[in-house]
């Protein structure tokens, strides 16, 4: 049986751990070549070893997404090598400080906005032309419930995700009638990741779904057969969530 992503090229950010790592492995197992982006060289090498051992293929791109010119250079490199991009998983994010809004430092504010909002904008800017060259371009942006339900002490993170959602949905509306690219948002909910542990240090991680549990949904959303567009998919509201 042919793998559902056979021959596709998928870019995954934040691929060295957590949701990005598990999604990259699952996407590779489904047949896609993975372009894995992360700051952590060791984590990327672990991912490459895991994908290769399972018979998949992966290109490693160690880079900091706040080096925005590097995103443009990556787009040019992908264009020269493949001439297209079939899938984009924009997963990389940082939490920043969980603190009172008026205690948020300018440095923390800019770091959160750079990674969670400006980097997705730059990825859209650079990867849109490549996704248009795909027969079935797909893009998924990982978001959070605090983008729509803000809560105390989460100011910078909530604002960054709300801004990212708005920008992504504007892009989705612009391309809906002129391309076959399908752009969607994914809310994983509470998941067993390092970010969640930092945000909720007293929580028992064994009570949460793992990134591996989420990976099959991401494979589905980045598949040519996924036809939804400009939607917010909440993991816990899908059949993939086993509760």
Write the CATH number for 214.
Answer: 3.40.50.720
For the chain, strand residue ranges (E) read 9-13, 33-38, 58-62, 87-90, 138-142, 182-187, 232-234
Distance CA(25)–CA(238), nearest Å, equals 21
| Structural domain boundaries, residue 113 | 9-237
Domain count, the chain: 1
Q: Residue 4 domain-assigned?
A: no
3-state SS of 62-126? ECCCCCHHHHHHHHHHHHHHCCCCCEEEECCCCCCCCECHHHCCHHHHHHHHHHHHHHHHHHHHH
Q: Does some domain include residue 179? A: yes
- pLDDT at residue 243 above 80? no
Give the pLDDT of residue 190.
80
**Does the residue 205 lie in any domain?**
yes
Which of 55-64, 69-78, 160-169, 183-192 has the least mean pLDDT? 183-192
Is 196 among the domain residues?
Answer: yes
Which active-site residues does the annotation give?
157
Q: Let me know if residue 2 belongs to a domain.
A: no
Residue 225 lies in a domain: yes
pTM over 0.85, yes/no: yes
Q: Is 90 exceeded by the pLDDT of residue 192? A: no
Q: How confident is the model at residue 95 (pLDDT cuts 50, 70, 90)?
A: very high
């Amino acid at each position: 049986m042919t793998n559902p992503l056979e021959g596709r090229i998928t870019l995954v950010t934040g691929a060295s751990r957590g949701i990005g790592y598990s999604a990259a492995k699952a996407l590779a197992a489904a047949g896609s070549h993975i372009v894995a982006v992360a700051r952590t060289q060791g984590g990327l090498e672990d991912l490459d070893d895991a994908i290769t051992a399972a018979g998949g293929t992966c290109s490693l791109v160690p880079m900091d997404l706040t080096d925005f010119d590097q995103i443009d250079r990556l787009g040019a490199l992908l264009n020269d090598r493949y001439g297209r991009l079939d899938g984009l998983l924009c997963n990389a994010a940082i939490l920043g400080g969980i603190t009172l809004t008026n205690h948020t430092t300018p440095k923390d504010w800019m770091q959160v906005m750079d990674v969670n909002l400006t980097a997705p904008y730059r990825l859209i800017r650079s990867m849109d032309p490549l996704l248009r060259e795909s027969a079935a371009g797909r893009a998924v942006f990982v978001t959070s419930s605090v983008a729509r339900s803000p809560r105390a002490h989460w100011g910078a993170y909530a604002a960054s995700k709300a801004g990212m959602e708005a920008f992504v949905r504007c892009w989705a509306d612009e391309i809906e009638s002129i391309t076959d690219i399908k752009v969607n948002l994914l809310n994983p909910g509470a998941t067993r990741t390092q970010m969640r542990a930092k945000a909720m240090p007293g929580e028992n991680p064994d009570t949460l779904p793992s990134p591996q549990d989420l990976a099959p949904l991401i494979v589905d959303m980045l598949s040519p057969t996924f036809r939804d567009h400009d939607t917010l998919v909440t993991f816990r509201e899908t059949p993939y969530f086993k509760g």
